[in-house]
Structure 1
Amino acid sequence: MTLTTEALAAHDDVDPEIRRFVVALNHGYGQFSDFAALPLPERRAAAEIVRAPWRAGGPVMAKTVTAELAGCRARFHYPQRSDTPQPALLYIHGGGWTMFSIDTHDRLMREYAARAGMVVVGIDYSLSPEVRYPVALDEIVAAYRALRDDAGDFGIAPAAIAIGGDSAGGNLAVATSLRLRDAGDSPPAAMLLNYGAFDPAPTASYARYDGPAYMLTVAEMDGFWRDYAGDPATLVDPLVAPLRADLTGLPPSFLAVPECDILADANRAMAARLGSAGVPVELRLYAGATHSFLEAVSVSSLASAAFDEAARWLAATLRRALA
């Protein structure tokens, strides 16, 4: 069933600008007959088409380079030219570990690059279910190490590299930091976590915000966890469900949490657990925002404000890392 503006109007907890974004995406997917039943390669291609208008426009970079990083396709956004090494953010796109790319998330990366004044690097990791945990995690750990170890070649300051992502990308950002910590390796200087998927256990926000009006449904999220983990027993692994991990020693963290999201409770819990572990943490709850709301930045003042807040935090945190 196609979601209409009139049907969504009943959900008056959703910000009006975000509401129009949700309806537009729903109509976009409605162009494809029985989208959910399409073979996965066709669903991925359709999702790229539907998301394309939302990545258009936005900040113009001084230089953008698409290259290979540790065997994966990567995109480097440089907001300005500089003769000195710059801070950087390694950004991991969401999509339930099964969809999307550095193309769908190109606007998000350019927004962070321009607003925070730093290099942003996106990575195309291998998607599930063709591969399962820990393949994507292994690739991102390798990409982070390559970026840090060869930072001079990329015009990046190795001591000022943050890691971040949205949804499944937020999960992989925390898991990467955990893997590096456990290996005795130097962790990222900061974590940027946008509506991350941190634990498969249902919460009150699962019941409150389930349904297409809020972008992400419980059925979709449950399927994503299955596709990523493979073996159900893997779902309790703290590198799959990092809310269950010992979070001691992780980098300073910023969590952008949309109120109207089935993952909201898990994000609040992650912020609380990071704080209890002694990690400097900032949580911003965006009333009226849904899952994926940052992609609405071209039409949403709320999304724009969220970028500004995260960018200020990133710039300040990475300046301290360089001090």
Structure 2
Amino acid sequence: MSTLAEIREVALEAAGHAFRVRVYPAARPTGATLVWAHGGGFLGGTLDMPEADQTAHLLAERGVAVVSVGYSLAPADPLLELPDEARGPNMPSRQQIEAEIAASGPRVRFPVASLQLLAAFDWATEHAAELGGDADRVAIGGASAGANLAAGAALRARDRGARAPSALLLCYGVLHADLPAPRPDLAEALGPDVVEPDGVLALNYVGDPALLADPYAFPGGHDVRGLPPTTIVNAGPDRLRASGEAFGAELAIAGVDVAVSQERGSAHGYLNHVDDPAARRTVDRFARALDTEGR
């Protein structure tokens, strides 16, 4: 991976909480800027994880300036409460989780991270020209929980009536508090032993069960008219694929331009696997979508 010059971090504040963004200037600017949010179940993830850092590098090398958002994380209680015997081989140890909690700053619930994504979008719009971009071509996107935050921020921008994102880019996102039932092909791909999400992470994110119905917390199933052109990429054998597919259908019914695709051989979180060709294909899709909306 090439090293881009002038990558820097900027301190911001929104909803009474400090956060930071990492700015990746485009190698050869096309005029597009993307505000990007990593995943991690709302309670994990960093600006250094490949889903954030590698994705930003690859897009910047394709001419897109990237503002990667280090949003405030929700409490990590669900991970700390997980019994040791239930931890898989790829899951962090309790000691690793405690170390990440200590380094991550104050833990807060909805709506803080959602409002921080919108603040990052506003900052990127204000500074687009400095990044070689166009203030009218600032998009927003994310992966997994970050896709949720991006979609919620896009709804906020729509409803406030001011400048809104030029495009919405979502990768294996969780858009519904209650996941739609999987289609038969997804159910077959997941197999009979799939563990259905129990909603713990969603409830941990919002804190109050009533907030699960807030469209800014989980946009799926709500009024999505007026959202910008949207590109959705789902992982193949991924229970969240049902949410991405359903959200795509909701957008289409609402008259929003939407393209939905699937990385059939890659599981949830594939942007974190640096050697997975699906990561580069997804970046290519996003770069083409941003190039198209500029014409």
Please report the TM-score for the alignment, with normalisation by the length of structure 2. Answer: 0.79
CA contact (8 A) 2:21 2:120 kept: no
Inter-partner Cα distance in structure 1 for 2:116 and 2:277: 35
Inter-partner Cα distance in structure 2 for 1:301 and 1:145: 32
Deviation, structure 1 residue 200: 2.1
In the TM superposition, what are the counterparts of 1:224-303 in structure 2 within 5 Å?
Answer: 224-296=201-273, 298-303=274-279
CA contact (8 A) 1:91 1:164 kept: yes
Which amino acid letter does the alignment assign opposite residue 174 of structure 1?
A
1:222 to 193, 199, 203: 199
Deviation, structure 1 residue 314: 1.9
2:69 to 108, 117, 123: 123
Unaligned 5+ segments in structure 2 are: 76-106
In the TM superposition, what are the counterparts of 1:90-105 in structure 2 within 5 Å?
Answer: 90-104=35-49, 105=52
SS in 1 for 2:135: strand
SS in 2 for 1:123: strand
CA contact (8 A) 1:209 1:262 kept: no
1:180 match: 157
1:73 match: 20
Which amino acid letter does the alignment assign opposite residue 138 of structure 1?
L
SS in 1 for 2:256: coil
For this pair of structures, how many residues does the alignment match?
254
Deviation, structure 1 residue 81: 6.0
Inter-partner Cα distance in structure 2 for 1:282 and 1:120: 21
Query: Moved runs in structure 1, 4+ residues, more than 6 A?
Result: none
CA contact (8 A) 2:32 2:138 kept: yes
Distance 1:225 1:210, change over 3 A: farther
Structure (1/2) with the larger helix percentage? 1
1:307 match: 283
Please report the TM-score for the alignment, with normalisation by the length of structure 1. Answer: 0.73
Inter-partner Cα distance in structure 2 for 1:192 and 1:59: 24
1:109 matches 2:70: no
Distance 1:203 1:273, change over 3 A: closer
Q: Kindly report the root-mean-square deviation, in angstroms, between the aligned alpha carbons of the 2 structures.
A: 2.3
